[in-house]
Structure 1
Amino acid sequence: MSTKHEDSVIESPTTPEVDEKGIVDAVESTCSSDELNPIPDGGLWAWMAVLGGSCTTFCTFGFSTSFGVFQDYFVQAGAGTSSDISWIGSLQLFLLFGMGILSGRWFDQGYFRHEFLVGSFLILLSVFMLSICDPSQYYGLVLTQGLLMGVGCGLTTTPALCLQSHYWKKRRALALGLVQAGSSCGGVVMPIMLNRLFNGPAGFAWGTRAVAFLMLVLLVVANCIMKTRLPGTKNKTGGQVPIKTVMVDPPYILTVIATVIFFFGMYFPYFYLQLWVRLHGMSEDLAFYTISILNAGSVFGRIIPNFVADYVGPYNMIIPIFYSCGILLFAMFGVTNVPAVIIFSILYGFATGSANALIPPAMGILARTEDETGLRIGMLFFATSFPILVGTPIDGALLGSDNTYWYKAIIFSGIVMLVGASLLVPARQMTVKRRGTQLT
């Protein structure tokens, strides 16, 4: 019989099961800031934080998960092989996640406004610079869309997610889901825009600029309506939470390892499904819309499971979601006709959107104080940046130069996701045991 779900102890943290005096002192010195400043769980600025976060992820994750359009276009333009081009999107996602270890720490210190403004500028600069690049020249694309865009996204995405911990507690998973639903909306709108504009009279240059102007509006809105509620550790007597406090937390470390392994395979359809549809002789229109359909499915995946997670706990949701992603990937073998492509895209988008959205709430329930939320999310994002960097290029190499060995890439991606899901099971057991709750 179930007693309390996983989130119950966040309101009344238990004594850390750590023997090292330095770590215990650090936790005690950074007593939960929400005891002095109660988390509102609503109100004008809380909802402004959600809206601003959604605008941010629309421009960052939304643009990144639309890379399949660029992948297809650059291959046809002669910029390189599928594996070569995938490094551009992988570098962008690598920096988006990898910068989290810095941007999350800076958020905890109270530098949200500074890093968010700089990141917004770099995002806009990169997209406008991309519009004047030659799509057949590989290194210009790497520097603009890969490097510059990645750094800008890394300086904005993690702080936008961490900001929700200032305003939400009981409904934090739902708030984070709504924020990340912005990325799915971006992943629906941008591929349609880009495909239509790239293949219409606007062409590559003005198609890219159209997206840049849309980002300009959204990022200006986000900068105007988002603000922090807590002062940050730079002005706090107890100082910052040491990284060592997090590094010796077994359920956290195992969760990070599981997520890292899982991410080696998760983005394969986002990069290659459009190419798969074209190679199987299906319509060009369907190929254009596959990325948008994936992201449309993820809109609901980022909201519905997160809503449920506020009641049953993030781990109880994320484990079956991880397993479903791996199983769905193997179903790609049968995705060779139009109805199958549409059904697969919706289901896989729902599952992967949910997987992405449930990771930050899981980090939140492991945090002992609000002052280490940014550190935990940032460190996990940093760790997952490495499989994101090499995962899709590995898939491209497995496909071969003539894109014929699809079974190798599908099997590799499916297996690593199932392994990652299996490692989350003992992580959940450790979390439940530490909190003194019974297993469901």
Structure 2
Amino acid sequence: MSVSHAEDIPPSRIKDISEFNNLRVHHLRDLESNREKNNETGGPTDGGRDAWLTIAGCFMVQFCTVGYSNAFGVYQDIYTRDFLSNKSPSEISWIGSFQYFMQYAPGVFVGHAFDAGYFRHMIALGSLLQVFSIFMLSLARKGQYYQVFLAQAVGIGLGQALLFIPSLTIISQHFKKRRSFAIGVAVTGASVGGIIWPILLNQLDQKATLANANRATGAVTGALLLCANILMKPRPVASRAGGGVHVGIKTVFRDAPFMVSIGAACLVALGIFFPYFYLQLYAIDQAIAPHLAFYALTILNAGSIVGRLVPNFFADRLGPYNMIIPCLSVTAALLVVVLAVHSFAGLVVFALFYGLTSGSYISLIPSIIGQLSIKSGQPGLRMGFAFTSVGFWMLIGTPIEGALLHPSGTGGSLVWSPCIIFSAISVACGAFGMLVSRMMFVRGGRNGEKGQLI
């Protein structure tokens, strides 16, 4: 076989090869340029300075929104025993549940505004509204239920609505493969807030006044939200044809696994927040020393730090469904176990484990929604629809438990068994609903993408 040498190749052929190589080099350069452009304006980068600074800002938002709401058990105790002692536990719990409701209810519109590019506007307005409402709460007078309700339930809740959902949805712009873990890191801010806010409120209420405790809360919240506004950075994304809220909602209703998962989340919302509202009051009613009972919510939220990180870390490897179903099952079992808690040691053990399992559920839900929203083109709208739906059930959950806790004809004494059993059954039904949603998701062939776990 003869070997061709360079001098044997015709000049015209050499010119063609040279032009081909030049075209190939230019093509590779164009590909690299497009890849860099996509990293700037397109898909998630799963890391980088802007991504982790955004997570830091989301952490602060979660600290000031869900973390602050998780401390409502302190308000429930103070209002029941002193500040609003003219009202029943059920009436007082409406303040906290309506605050949660307002935080979640406008989700459809907040999510659509996020998809339309109004992230910065919502975060700024929500920050101002929450801080203003906290200072208004500090001016509420003792025994004036309507003043507390307007400031805390309506004002703070609406401010948190403009902060909470956008701060979760923006994470999907920066993370994909490590989305569950990134969300877990961000929502640990809620757990840290749930540790710090109860200590701050209890200590200042004892050493100063509830009004001054609220003023200190407003100052800390204002500083942190200012930092969060600076740190969070939305990524420019390509415009998506969604047809607006009306068309988007139609596609949501046709998605059976998504709707079943939302139904399951609504059932869970009926019962899962019972300890966050009533654990401190329960501890005091069980004759646990008040100076120890005051740390019930702090311990609960300390456990949820692990719950928001570890399950989310494994969810990126095992799938969010495969983590959330067992976590919900254990949460339901723990709600029954609380009936056996009559000492501070038992309270600590229960609070740590319940914080772990319930915290994992709260942090895994955005990952489930994100997975069910793949290729929908409207992640903000779907996240908002989910939280709007859950918000209505959160509105009635803790008041129902309050009514069961203080039934008529008991002479003012607290009856714990009915409300605890109600909460446990609600969460157990939610766990079963998530299992059904997972089965529908698999049967629909939607887990067929390479590397996608459920």
TM-score, normalised with respect to structure 1: 0.89
**Runs of 4+ off more than 4 Å:** 33-36, 236-241, 436-440
Report the Cα distance in structure 2 between the residues aligned to 1:255 and 1:106, rounded to whole angstroms: 24
8 Å contact 2:317–2:453 — kept in the other structure? Answer: no
Q: Which amino acid aligns with 1:38?
A: G
8 Å contact 1:74–1:135 — kept in the other structure? Answer: no
Of residues 421, 426, 432, the one that matches 2:431 is 421
Report the Cα distance in structure 2 between the residues aligned to 1:411 and 1:432, rounded to whole angstroms: 32
Q: Which amino acid aligns with 1:406?
A: W
Q: Which amino acid aligns with 1:405?
A: V
Shift in Å at residue 367 of structure 1? 1.2
Q: Which amino acid aligns with 1:423?
A: G
Task: Deviation per CA, 1:370-406: give whole Å up to 9, x if none.
Answer: 7321111111100110111110010010011524321
8 Å contact 1:79–1:137 — kept in the other structure? Answer: no
Report the Cα distance in structure 1 between the residues aligned to 2:77 and 2:213, rounded to whole angstroms: 15
Q: Which amino acid aligns with 1:417?
A: V
8 Å contact 2:406–2:414 — kept in the other structure? Answer: yes
1:10 maps to none
2:417 pairs with 1:407: yes
Task: Deviation per CA, 1:129-156: give whole Å up to 9, x if none.
Answer: 1111113211100000000000000011
2:74 maps to 69
1:218 maps to 224
Of residues 375, 380, 386, the one that matches 2:392 is 386
Instruction: Check 1:230–1:369 CA distance in 2 against 1; reply closer, same or farther (3 A cut).
Output: farther
Q: Which amino acid aligns with 1:123?
A: Q
2:151 pairs with 1:141: no
1:27 maps to none
What does 1:346-361 align with in structure 2 at a 5 Å threshold? 346-361=352-367
Of residues 435, 441, 449, the one that matches 1:431 is 441
Report the Cα distance in structure 1 between the residues aligned to 2:259 and 2:392, rounded to whole angstroms: 16
2:43 pairs with 1:38: yes
2:375 maps to 369
Shift in Å at residue 430 of structure 1? 1.5
8 Å contact 1:51–1:179 — kept in the other structure? Answer: yes
8 Å contact 1:79–1:85 — kept in the other structure? Answer: no
Partner SS state of residue 45, structure 2: coil
Instruction: Check 1:279–1:431 CA distance in 2 against 1; reply closer, same or farther (3 A cut).
Output: same
Q: Which amino acid aligns with 2:311?
A: P
1:281 maps to 287
Report the Cα distance in structure 2 between the residues aligned to 1:315 and 1:337, rounded to whole angstroms: 35
2:11 maps to none
Partner SS state of residue 435, structure 1: coil
Q: How many residues align?
A: 405
Greater relative contact order structure (CA < 8 Å, 6+ sep): 1
Q: Is there any run of 5+ residues in structure 1 with no aligned partner, and where? A: 1-32
Partner SS state of residue 380, structure 1: helix
Report the Cα distance in structure 2 between the residues aligned to 1:330 and 1:135, rounded to whole angstroms: 35
Report the Cα distance in structure 1 between the residues aligned to 2:67 and 2:427, rounded to whole angstroms: 22
Q: Is there any run of 5+ residues in structure 2 with no aligned partner, and where? A: 1-37
Shift in Å at residue 413 of structure 1? 0.5
8 Å contact 1:110–1:232 — kept in the other structure? Answer: no
Report the Cα distance in structure 2 between the residues aligned to 1:232 and 1:118, rounded to whole angstroms: 25
Shift in Å at residue 128 of structure 1? 0.7
Identity level (%) = 41
8 Å contact 1:107–1:232 — kept in the other structure? Answer: no
Task: Deviation per CA, 1:383-440: give whole Å up to 9, x if none.
Answer: 1101111100100100115243211001111011101101111110111222255999
TM-score, normalised with respect to structure 2: 0.86
Partner SS state of residue 386, structure 2: helix
